[in-house]
Amino acid sequence: MTRILIVDDEENIREVVHEYCELNGYDADEAGDGADAIEMIKNTDYDLVILDIMMPRLDGFSTCREIKKIKPVPVIMLSARQEEYDKLFSFELGVDDYVVKPFSPKELMARVKVVLERGRHRDTGKIMKFGGLEIDPMGRTVSVNGEKVQMTPKEIDLLLYMAAHKNIALSRQTLLEEVWNYDYFGDDRTVDTHIKMLRRNLGEYRDCIVTVRGMGYKFEA
């Protein structure tokens, strides 16, 4: 059975999320701070971690960084902070989603389902080459002029989808549905934030990601 670790210093939030996890058929464990969570990650195989940012002893950012060193477990970040910087920093750490408090437990469970099922949406085709830009779907790597580029899993998902549909204008809603696998749970800013990160990481190939005014984006090559 799928096992989820809920990490939050607020007991009532842990209890609510725990209850909804069980209602959705997931096993769930709880940790009241980041330090305890890291020890639990070392000793138990979790399929996903729901992680608060503002916690005593060790904040969510530091906890996520340490978790990623131990195991490549997916992470959904919880935060009362809505600043773009916090979201960008979270995605740079490799989190799979960012949920702002207060949140709907039902929406959170929908996002949990999306993250757990994301593997089935990954492309498994041949290496795609666009000049010095190479995208390997099976190896899930991206190289620019022979140098591997560090990207988060979701950035790679987004680039794979756009490259597989090159020269086609894709709305933000389409990208949310196809890459994140949710519609009304999504937020256009999620797409824009990842596009900004993707362009930065592509360096000289950043212009392959073209903005389609009033609609979304497309990959041109």
pLDDT in tens, 104-132: 999 999 999 888 876 444 444 678 999 99
* Whether residue 12 is found in the same domain as residue 109: yes
For residues 17 and 31, give the distance between their C-alpha atoms in angstroms, rounded to a whole number: 12
Give a three-class secondary structure readout of 141-183.
EEEECCEEECCCHHHHHHHHHHHHCCCCCEEHHHHHHHHHCCC
Q: What is the mean pLDDT of residues 171-200?
A: 81
Q: Residue 87's pLDDT is what? A: 83
Q: Residue 189's pLDDT is what? A: 82
* Whether residue 44 is found in the same domain as residue 96: yes
Question: CATH number, domain at 153?
Answer: 1.10.10.10
pLDDT in tens, 77-110: 998 877 777 888 888 888 888 998 999 999 999 9
* Whether residue 33 is found in the same domain as residue 79: yes
pLDDT in tens, 18-36: 999 999 999 999 999 999 9
For residues 220 and 77, give the distance between their C-alpha atoms in angstroms, rounded to a whole number: 32
Q: What is the mean pLDDT of residues 152-177?
A: 90
Mean pLDDT of the chain: 88
Residue 115 structural domain? 3-119
DSSP state letters, 70-117: H----EEEEES---HHHHHHHHHTT-SEEEESS--HHHHHHHHHHHHH
- Under DSSP, the state recorded for 126 is P
Residue that is last in its domain, among 95, 119, 143: 119
For residues 34 and 21, give the distance between their C-alpha atoms in angstroms, rounded to a whole number: 20
* Whether residue 30 is found in the same domain as residue 108: yes
* Whether residue 106 is found in the same domain as residue 151: no
Residue that is last in its domain, among 119, 148, 164: 119
For residues 47 and 2, give the distance between their C-alpha atoms in angstroms, rounded to a whole number: 6
Q: Which of 10-14, 79-83, 134-138, 183-187 is predicted with the least confidence, judged by mean pLDDT?
A: 183-187
* Whether residue 142 is found in the same domain as residue 158: yes
